[in-house]
């Protein structure tokens, strides 16, 4: 079984669902990369240290990626899949295992 086949089994979706999920990841990542510099450029003055830029990126831009992932996933018919993954990440970050 190939990589896509293993993803289909693990995620419990068909071929088109798997492709939609992969496309949502690609679109969210690309959009985040395109928006990162304009967002940081608006918020931070020139010459800001790399450490400060990294912290602001984690605090502001990474949640944007999650929102974009959910939005693209929903538009591609996989909103329930991405919502369940985001809830699991939220529980993990909150320290809950259920």
Ordered by start, the domain boundaries in the chain are 23-94
Predicted local distance difference test score (pLDDT) of residue 12 = 93
Asked if 60 and 39 count as a contact pair (C-beta separation under 8 A), the reply is yes
pLDDT score recorded for residue 97: 62
Over residues 19-75, the pLDDT tens digits come to 999 999 999 999 999 999 999 999 999 888 999 999 999 998 889 999 999 999 999
Give the span between the Cα atoms of 31 and 15, in whole angstroms. 24
Asked whether the predicted pLDDT for residue 98 surpasses 70, the reply is no
What is d(CA 38, CA 68) in angstroms, rounded to the nearest whole number?
Answer: 16
Residue 10 has pLDDT above 80, yes or no: yes
The larger pLDDT score, comparing residue 89 to residue 22, is at: 22
pLDDT over 80 (residue 96): no
């Amino acid at each position: 079984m190939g990589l896509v086949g293993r993803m289909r089994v693990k995620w419990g979706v068909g071929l088109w669902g798997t492709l939609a999920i992969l496309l949502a990841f690609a679109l969210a990542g690309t959009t985040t990369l395109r928006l990162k510099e304009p967002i940081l450029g608006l918020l931070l003055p020139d010459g800001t240290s790399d450490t400060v830029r990294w912290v602001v990126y984690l605090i502001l831009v990474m949640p944007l990626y999650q929102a974009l992932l959910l939005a693209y996933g929903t538009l591609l018919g996989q909103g329930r899949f991405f919502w369940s993954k985001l809830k699991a990440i939220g529980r993990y970050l909150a320290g809950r295992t259920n």
